Amino acid sequence: MNWIVPRYDYPSQISDIEATLLAQMRDLLNGGQYILGQAVTDFEREFATYIGTKHAIGVNSGTDALILALHALGIGQGDEVITVTNSFHATALAIVRVGAIPVLVDCKPDTFLIDLGQVEQKISRRTRAVIVVHLFGQSVDMAAVHDLAKRNGLLIVEDCAQAIGALSGEKKVGSTSDAGCWSFAPSKNLAAAGDAGAVTLNNPKLSDRLSHMRHFGQTRQNEHRVPGYNSRLDTIQALVLRNKLPCVDKWGAARVRIASIYRERLDGLPIAFQRGARTGEHVYHLFQIKTDLRNDLLSHLRRRGIDAVVRYPTPIHLQEAFGDLGYRTGDLPVSEALAEHSLCLPLHPAMTDDQVGFVCASIHSFFSG
Ligand SMILES: Cc1ncc(COP(=O)(O)O)c(C=O)c1O
């Protein structure tokens, strides 16, 4: 479909860097350092500096970043990890993949983010960690998370897939916990040309363990100390990411500007927005709105060529894949209501004012009947 207002604009992410990137790719293709080449090391250093951590380890996806982080932190069979049902499936999948049990809690009705009060209630003798998700680009209050984790002896893993550049207080998300887990999938604010991910962290021992684990558990050629994974950030993806990283703040600022136009022009309509972020704490990976007339509004927008979508139509606890966890409809009602009543408006840094205006006018025309 040829959208009048699409959700992504890839050419605009590439146009300024295309000549340099293609020249670097040509060198790489001829040079053959496809696996763990110099660009991977360079990107890891630059990304750690950008986030504000001592280390960053490139892996092949955001899902693997979560799995490897949990595994490297020693979480496994019989352990419980608490996380939020209002997230992308991979957050809980990673817990299952390391043999642990996801304990799912609801989100807050105003911020759409993990309800830390519920986390506190679900802590048991088997709880080892909490995974917080900076969903839609808005940061969770990490000071509160650290306080909770300290009082209860829990590890903290951050799912940062949607929130590159977002602050929590004074610090960037992914910089203060045991592991910040990143996705650079093509939909993300910093997008590779395929699958890619990373873990940011400050502990040098854990960093070494992760860098071995992602590479067959190999410490040097033919020496395998731990049963690892084959999950490396491809050199070609590192080239894409290195070239785009310097643009992330500029793109984030453009997202914030568009979000503020949406908020201003849609004010007064029977719509709720994600609330709670202070300046700098939301990078608007997705612009989420909530309305009782979601399905009709969604059809109206899509008919008019606006690529609005639902994120996420089925909360994790009601996904068939997690049926054996035993959750039922009604268990986590805030996320269930969001799944029924929310949708995402298109938002990307290259959107024109006309496109933003068209989306707003279309929503007004819907509500004025
Ligand atoms: C919140 C969240 N967690 C994890 C992931 C998984 O990342 P990936 O698709 O790179 O495996 C994604 C994105 O897909 C995500 O949005």
Atom of ligand 1 nearest to the CA of 195: 10
Burial 102-134 (b: 16+ CB within 10 A, else e): bbbbbbbeebbbbbbebbeeebeeebbbbbbbb
Tens of pLDDT, residues 3-34: 999 999 999 999 999 999 999 999 999 999 99
Please, are residues 355 and 305 in contact by the beta-carbon 8 Å criterion? no
133 lines ligand 1 (CB under 6 A): yes
Segment 232-259 shows an average pLDDT of 98
Residues of the chain with CATH 3.40.640.10: 10-246
| C-alpha of residue 361 to centroid of ligand 1, in Å | 32
Atom of ligand 1 nearest to the CA of 185: 10
Q: In this structure, what token pair is assigned to residue 216?
A: 């067959």
Note the pLDDT of residue 1.
78
SS3 359: helix
Q: In this structure, what token pair is assigned to residue 255?
A: 């997202």
**Nearest-CA neighbor of 196 among 242, 228, 227, 165?**
242
Which stretches does DSSP call E strand in 35-168?
A: 55-59, 80-84, 101-105, 127-133, 155-159, 167-168
233 lines ligand 1 (CB under 6 A): no
Note the pLDDT of residue 103.
98
Instruction: Tabulate helix, strand, coil % of the chain (nearest 5).
Output: 45, 20, 40
SS3 32: coil
Which stretches does DSSP call E strand in 164-302?
A: 167-168, 171-172, 179-183, 197-201, 218-220, 223-224, 272-273, 287-290
349 lines ligand 1 (CB under 6 A): no
61 lines ligand 1 (CB under 6 A): yes
237 lines ligand 1 (CB under 6 A): no
**Nearest-CA neighbor of 349 among 274, 287, 263?**
287
| C-alpha of residue 312 to centroid of ligand 1, in Å | 13
Which stretches does DSSP call E strand in the chain?
A: 55-59, 80-84, 101-105, 127-133, 155-159, 167-168, 171-172, 179-183, 197-201, 218-220, 223-224, 272-273, 287-290, 342-345
Tell me, what DSSP letter sits at residue 225?
-
Instruction: Check: pTM over 0.95? Answer yes or no.
Output: yes
DSSP string for residues in 256-278: HHHHHHHHHHTTTSS-EE---PP
Tell me, what DSSP letter sits at residue 153?
T
* Amino acid of residue 364: H
Domain 10-246 CATH (choose: 3.40.640.10, 2.102.10.10, 3.90.1150.10, 3.40.50.10420): 3.40.640.10
Q: From CA 163, how far away is CA 165, in angstroms rounded? A: 6
Tens of pLDDT, residues 205-245: 999 999 999 999 999 999 998 899 999 999 999 999 999 99
Q: 296 exposed, middle or buried (CB, 10 Å; 0-12, 13-18, 19+)? A: exposed
Domain 247-367 CATH (choose: 3.40.30.10, 3.90.1150.10, 2.40.37.10, 3.30.2000.10): 3.90.1150.10
Note the pLDDT of residue 269.
98
Residues of the chain with pLDDT > 70: what percent? 100
Q: 8 exposed, middle or buried (CB, 10 Å; 0-12, 13-18, 19+)? A: middle
User: Residue 158: is its pLDDT beyond 90?
Assistant: yes
159 lines ligand 1 (CB under 6 A): yes
Residues of the chain with CATH 3.90.1150.10: 247-367
Tens of pLDDT, residues 212-221: 999 999 999 9
197 lines ligand 1 (CB under 6 A): yes
